[in-house]
Amino acid sequence: MHELIFFSMFLLVLIRLIGFIVSVNFYYESKSNTYIYFTTGWFCWVTAGIVALISAITNNQIQESFFLLMNYIIGPIAIFLLGSGLSSYYIKISSNKIKLLSVLLIAFPIILNFSLGLVPVALYARISQFLGIITIFLLPFLRYNSFKKRIGKSIKWYYLTCFSIILYIPLAILSMITSIYSGSFQSQDITIIIGAYTSIIIMTILVIAFIIHLEYTITSEQEKQLKDKYSHDLGNIMQVIYSSADLFKRIGKEENIENDKLDLIEKKCKEAAKLIDEIRNL
């Protein structure tokens, strides 16, 4: 492996590790299935990078082939799981289908390796990851209105990520063509190495930024909706209590009955109304 590729892969592993930590944190806060997909996907992507680095430093050819095979298996699964996490924001995802497809993504390259060898598996991994990345960020355009409504202000980060993918596409194709028989880890072309890995590093950083911004956008919108709902419902309840107290007070006056409790209820209702207004203005 070229030294520049090794350094780029090491940097990518660190960036992916940040994505994994962010997803774990969001999962513990939300307990959402979305972040199960994201967390598992980032973990697989980190692992794929680590086994690629190990394959580069081992002197045993059998071990090198094994770790490369692991990379070719885990990489596509990582892209698939990250894509499932993103898709779950605007479409319903079946966890059983995710599990089944994950098993197939593991089984297929293993069968392919035993049947045809490692080179076709490397080609499969490159193509599947390339098409997977494109599909993940183009699929939302099929449901653009619901997707845009769901992600809100994060649409800007989505566009930036799509733009980085557009830059990545020709570089990935060029890299795939020039290393079709040996895999990207064996490329010695400095220009291709710099271009391909710079684009994938930028894209990975933008994906993490997009996920963070998207989560905070959705959380803020949910908080706003809950604030409006609860303040509106509490306002209605207080209005009913206030109206009932006022009615009993009028009846009491007509019958010359003094009731300090009703005055206290009216006073507390007015105080509660002020608090509800403050909540609405937060």
CATH code where residue 126 lies: 1.20.1070
Q: Are residues 57 and 99 in the same domain?
A: yes
pLDDT band at 130 (very low <50, low <70, confident <90, very high): confident
Phi-psi region of 101 (alpha: psi -120 to 50; beta: other; left: phi over 0): alpha
Q: Express each pLDDT in 101-128 by its tens digit.
A: 889 988 998 998 888 888 888 888 888 8
Residue 247 confidence (pLDDT) above 70 = no
Among 224, 241, 265, identify where a domain stops: 224
Least confident of 11-15, 164-168, 189-193, 225-229: 225-229
- Please, which pLDDT band fits residue 249 given cuts at 50, 70 and 90? low
Residues 82 and 182 in one domain: yes
pTM of the model: 0.73
Query: What band does 183 get if pLDDT is binned at 50, 70 and 90?
Result: very low
Give me the number of domains the chain comprises.
2
Same domain, 173 and 267: no
Q: What is the pLDDT of residue 43?
A: 92
Last residue of a domain, one of 178, 200, 224: 224
146, 25: one domain: yes
pLDDT in tens, 192-234: 677 777 888 888 888 888 888 877 777 766 666 666 666 666 6
Confidence of residue 269 (pLDDT cuts 50, 70, 90): low
Give yes or no: residues 233 and 182 share one domain: no
**Mean pLDDT of all residues belonging to the chain:** 76
Say whether both 198 and 211 belong to one domain: yes
Domain that holds residue 21: 3-224
Looking at the predicted structure, is the pLDDT value of residue 181 above 60? no
Kindly write down the DSSP assignment for every residue of the chain, as one continuous string: --HHHHHHHHHHHHHHHHHHHHHHHHHHHH--HHHHHHHHHHHHHHHHHHHHHHHHH---HHHHHHHHHHHHHHHHHHHHHHHHHHHTTTS---HHHHHHHHHHHHHHHHHHHHHH-HHHHHHHHHHHHHHHHHHHHHGGGGGHHHHHHHHGGGHHHHHHHHHHHHHHHHHHHHHHHHTTTT-GGG---HHHHHHHHHHHHHHHHHHHHHHHHHHHHHHHHHHHHHHHHHHHHHHHHHHHHHHHHHHHHHHHHHTT---HHHHHHHHHHHHHHHHHHHHHT-
Could you tell me if 135 and 259 lie in one domain? Answer: no
Residues 131 and 49 placed together within one structural domain of the fold: yes
Instruction: Indicate if 112 and 165 belong to the same structural domain.
Output: yes
For the ranges 66-75, 237-246, 249-258, the maximum mean pLDDT occurs at 66-75
CA 197 distance to own-chain centroid: 22
User: Tokens at residue 25, please?
Assistant: 């944190």
What's the mean pLDDT in 139-157? 76
pLDDT: which is higher, 180 or 213: 213
pLDDT-derived band of residue 185, with 50, 70 and 90 as boundaries?
very low
Does position 268 have pLDDT exceeding 80, yes or no? no
Specify whether 252 is located in the same domain as 119: no
pLDDT at 144: 74
